[in-house]
Amino acid sequence: MASPRIIGGIVAVAVIAGAIAAFAVAWRPAISAVDPPAPQSFDSALVKRGRDLAAIGNCNDCHTVRGGKDFAGGLPVPTPFGIIYSSNITPDPETGIGRWPEAAFRRAMQSGVNRDGQHLYPTFPYDHFTHVTDEDDRALYAYLMTRRPVRASAHENDLAFPFNQRIAVAGWKVLFLRHGTYQPDPAQSAEWNRGAYLVEGLAHCGACHTPRNALGAEKTQASFAGGDVDNWHAYAINGQSSAPVPWDAEALFRYLRQGWHPDHGVARGPMAEVVSNLSEVPESDVRAIATYMASVFGAPTLERKRRGDEVLARASSGSPLPANGGATSGAQIYAAACAGCHATDRAPPFGGINLALSTALTGPDARNAANIVLSGIRPTAGERSPIMPGFADSMSDGQIAAVLDYLRTRLSNAPPWTNTADIVRDIRRIQTVLLQRDQP
């Protein structure tokens, strides 16, 4: 039998070896600071390309608080582990990335490590950005370094132990981060490969549209099967889509470019921010994204196409729900508050989508529909875009739940929602908190 001294020695060696291994996994060296580069030192064409890439990556919406300075950070990102605040990515030398050399920026994009060597939380989706080429990172760096510097110190994250320890992020990366730029598929077209590169990389579509596991990583086996973001449901954008009418490449392009499609409705919630940015990037990139995503959706089955054609036929012949559609409270509310826009053939902005086409009513729960009814749809400045008033001040939670349950039952083949009133109440509470937070 081994002596206690020998056993103790073995345990000590194992502990030391484990500590060394953990240090090797977690430690990253700092990268020396530089003097902020002069904006005029960057090629104007490179800066313009970086602007388009930043729009595709939706950088402004994650790194800008409502009413705040562009890219100055401070946006609270709720996660199951607490609140994480986005960082200042303006070229301010003290509170932003002004003293970051390009190598530090590239490391943050590809490995999720900042200039000081700290691991970044994966709310910054470097698990997607690692697929971006060095050339595109260079263009993004040029664009950000030519923005107006904003002095804005970082907010302290509100995370419980052990998630407030960045060494835990190093362990997360060992489990879930896979490095490497996108490799084109030679069997596909150049447009398809461009779309795949953008979707899987900088556009990071799966970050919202893929469910996550208990540690907050995407479930890669359920890619694009739907996820949760900012109290909205990001719909499945693969063969599991619940859209009443199947998507195709042309519909996806129009929706992503204009934020609206007559057979699918208007982009709302976080998706509205995405399409707002995509409206300003090269059309060829949006078409490439649409081409790739159409292949992810896949061709509809004959039965799926038949059901979609039936919905389109009913919609084109008029609303399936007449203004005097029934005696239930939901039907009466629909007749009084909804039918005037949704049961007519008026064009936008005052004519609403035929609700038989609404994915919000066929989704897994009532969150998206409740968000829309409570807050409405704001028009896009300078465009003839859809508009809808919010009913937060004129309807009770019970009334909104009644009309949503009525519409779900009448227009969807999916099972009835069972907790609509609770969802409406929760969404109202969240919207109230966000409104108060955004007040000057």
In the chain (440 residues long), the average pLDDT of successive 10-residue segments reads 46 38 63 95 98 97 92 93 95 97 98 97 97 98 98 92 91 94 96 98 98 95 95 95 96 95 91 94 98 97 95 82 71 90 76 88 94 87 74 95 94 90 93 62
Q: What is the pLDDT of residues 149-161, one digit of tens each?
A: 999 998 899 998 8
**Residue 365 in contact with residue 421, Cβ under 8 Å?**
no
Residue 251, pLDDT score? 97
Report pTM.
0.90
Residue 412, pLDDT score? 87
Residue 13 C-alpha from the chain's centroid: 46
Residue 358, pLDDT score? 92
Residue 14, pLDDT score? 38
| Among 347, 340, 346, 304, CA closest to 323 | 340
Residue 18, pLDDT score? 38
Question: What is the SS3 string spanning 215-261?
Answer: CCCECHHHCCCCEEECCEEECCCCCCCCCCCCCCHHHHHHHHHHCEE
Is the backbone peptide bond immediately before 282 cis, with ω within 30 degrees of 0? Answer: no
Residue 316, pLDDT score? 84
Two tokens, residue 210: 């893929």
Measured at the alpha carbon of residue 28, what is the angle toward residues 26 and 32, in degrees to the nearest 5?
160
Residue 28, pLDDT score? 82
Residue 384, pLDDT score? 61
